[in-house]
Structure 1
Amino acid sequence: MRAPARREQLLLVTAQLAVEQSFHAVSIEAVAQRAGVTRAVIYQHFDDLQALLEAVVDREMSQAQEQVTPTTPTDLGSGAASDILLRGLAAFLTAVRDHPRTWRLVLMPPEGAPELLGRRIARGRRTVLRQLAVAVEGGLSGSAVGDAELTAHLLSAISDEYARLVLTDPDRFSPERLLEHARWWLAQSSFGM
């Protein structure tokens, strides 16, 4: 296996081990055993366990950012607000369903997660919340929405909880069911105006 492919395999194995068992279960030996390689192969790609974990966090958080950025509404004034929000939610839930490993790390960090993961998650959340607040304030000024920052927090919390349901019980909580609920909720709120 060529070096880039081997590195990718090691990152994937490490992330999967963390999601399935916790970060406490991740060791050079455990990764080597699961990947079917020697410890020396891992050390050819990473200086130590910390470097491997940091590379996993960088990889997964970059993927999460790439997946969530196009789903975050930026201008609720460019059409029916509820339709824009539902399109963004649909895209987000599809990304969660299609990339469960990444989103388990982001939305349900396993025990023993490195501090770096927590910092990167917090930074990503702040970015999404800022974008949502701008979208809410700009698109719904003069409406009954109220505080754009609080509304952004509420929308983010709902989206995150829907995503956790997709991850933990996809048979009961399909994206389609959750979108139908979101459509009903939005109709009850000022977004349905």
Structure 2
Amino acid sequence: MSVDERRDQILDAVRDLVDAEGFHAVAMDRIAQACGITRTLIYQQFGNLPGLLLAMVDREFGRAAAAFQRAERRPPAPGQSRFAAGVAGVLEAVDADPATWRMLLMPSQGGPPELYERLEQARSLTRAHMNEALLAADPALSSLTNPDRALAIAMLHTMSQELVRLRLRDPAAYTAERLLAQAEWMNKAMFGRKPGTPAP
């Protein structure tokens, strides 16, 4: 096994343990046993337990960020809003890697401080992206019925996160189709256009 493959194996074991039992359950002995290696090898690669946890957080955050960027570039299906298209892309990423998204959107206690710092940075970037997308669609913002764009974006972002959490908690009850229908409704309610205003 190459160094990179071994590193991924170790970080996978950490992520899976965090997903199953929380950050407090992670110990060098348990990770070494799960990977069939010695603790010395883990210390050589990551230095200590905080370094190991931070490496895992950084990797998962990077993967989620890449998935989000792909989702925001996803072309809408016929009749679909850009917002719902983005939500569809995120839901696909969530289904492909639920452990990562559970850690980021439903984090347990005891994580490294950097995790919560990165989550706040991600929230700010997501809200900024929503604002940029809205401005690109209507620079003058003269065609929208909603008088408070900033508050609407904050609300839409919060509700978007909750859609993903519902999918993570109970995918059988909260199907992608059900969640996307709600996303379309929220988008229209928050950013409806004035009567007689053509769509961009």
Q: How much has 1:71 moved relative to structure 2?
A: 2.5
- 5 Å matches for 1:1-193? 1-72=1-72, 83-140=81-138, 141-142=141-142, 143-191=144-192
Select between 130-139 and 108-117 the one with higher mean Cα deviation. 130-139
Give, as a single letter, the amino acid of the residue that structure 2 aligns with 1:51. G
Partner of 2:198: none
The Cα shift of 1:175 comes to 1.1
Cα distance in 2 between the residues matched to 1:191 and 1:182: 13
27-36 vs 56-65, which moves further:
27-36
In the alignment, structure 2 segments of 5+ residues that lack a partner are 195-200
For 2:136 and 2:149, how far apart are their aligned partners in 1?
9
Residues 74-120 of structure 1 deviation map (CA, whole Å, 9 limit, x = unaligned): xxxxx98x611111111111111111111111100112111100001
Q: For 1:68 and 1:189, locate their aligned partners in 2 and report how far apart those are by CA, in whole Å.
A: 22
What is the one-letter code of the residue matched to 1:104? R
CA-to-aligned-CA distance 1:103-142 (integer Å, 9 cap, x gap) = 1111001121111000011111111111112222442411
Contact kept, 8 Å, 1:17 with 1:25, in 2: the verdict is yes
Contact 1:14 1:31 in 2 (8 A): yes
* TM score, norm. by length of structure 1: 0.88
Q: Structure 1 residues 190 and 124, CA, compared in 2 at 3 Å: closer, same or farther? A: closer
* Structure 1 portions without partners, runs of 5+: 74-78
Tell me the SS of whatever aligns to 1:128.
helix
In the alignment, is the contact (CA less than 8 A) between 1:46 and 1:52 conserved in 2?
Answer: yes
TM-score if structure 2 supplies the norm length? 0.86
- Greater relative contact order: 1 or 2 (C-alpha under 8 angstroms, separation 6 or more)? 1
1: CA distance between counterparts of 2:11 and 2:52? 7
C-alpha deviation, 1:187, in angstroms: 4.4
Aligned-partner Cα distance in 1 for 2:147–2:70: 25
The 1:84–1:65 alpha-carbon spacing in structure 2 relative to 1, beyond 3 Å, is same
The one-character-per-residue Cα deviations of 1:7-46 (angstroms, maximum 9, x if unpaired) are 0000111011111101111111111122222212212311
